[in-house]
Amino acid sequence: QHIVDLAAEAGLPPGVLNVVHGTRDAVTRILEHPDVVGVSFVGSSATARHVYGAAATHGKRVQALGGAKNHMIVLPDADYELTTQALMGSIFGSAGQRCLAGSVVVGVGEAYDAIRERLIDGARELVLGRGLDEGVDVGPVISAPHRNRVRGFVEEGVGSGATLVLDGREATVDGLPDGHWFGPTVFENVSPDMRIGREEIFGPVAGLTRVSSLDQAVERVHENHYGNAVSIFTTSGKAAREFRYRAGISMMGVNIGVAAPMAFFPFGGSRASFYGDLKAQGADAIQFYTDRRVVISRW
């Protein structure tokens, strides 16, 4: 609401940008109303799939962005120090509450042990607190119910056999007892069949897994039903190019923790992470919001 108020204050004409409060009934009305030509959505994959189907049934163009489970592949020839910094920023930045956040770290061969120690040691040093304060690395999660949801994932991970090597469930911040704090959390021995290894947690939780080759790393990426973003860390141009062609993910990073394209490039995933044709940002977004017309004349 505050963003819309600022837009109106800046001079945006009334009715151009609106906030509609409501639940399922309000959404259904938008999806079915004859005056609505297109629908752009961001949320869970289950809801994105529903929005896509319902809006398309009523003849509307749709771009529906769903969930993510972003893998980060580390090869033995990677620069471990730079990789560790990128991993920590991706996984724990914004308390893991962004669709491009890293989630599963796949260490290839000897890279696993090297990156494991560095990531755990680095995560222990991160500072929790108010996100806008100087020196703070990790802010709170959005609400108490969401904190409980993240906690539930962690408890389920322990129950499914993953090894909890860094536990942030009891994190506190001096002077801020009412904050929804959740400290950096790290699992190892995470497999693709575990819920913490296949579903989006949306919190500062990392899952570590070991493979023996780049081929196995690619298999891990393909085993997941999401396809939002993926990153590879290597000093080998050959490995990076091979991964780029084989991974099959829409947004890829090479030695980048958050594979976020600049605004003039398309933004959106594949598989269960995106339903539609034209993606967000860039030329796709302009085309999505434009009715292109052709006039053929004879005089």
Cα dihedral 179, 180, 183, 188, rounded to 10, equals: 170
Catalytic, 99? Answer: yes
C-alpha 235: how far from its chain's center? 25
63 CB neighbour count, 10 Å cutoff: 26
CB of 73 closer than 8 Å to CB of 217: yes
Distance in angstroms (rounded) separating the CA atoms of residues 167 and 254:
29
User: Amino acid letter at 76?
Assistant: P
219 CB neighbour count, 10 Å cutoff: 14
**55, 65, 99, 230: the active-site residue:** 99
Q: How far is CA 13 from CA 4, 5, 6, 18, in A?
A: 11, 12, 12, 11
Residues with active-site annotation: 99
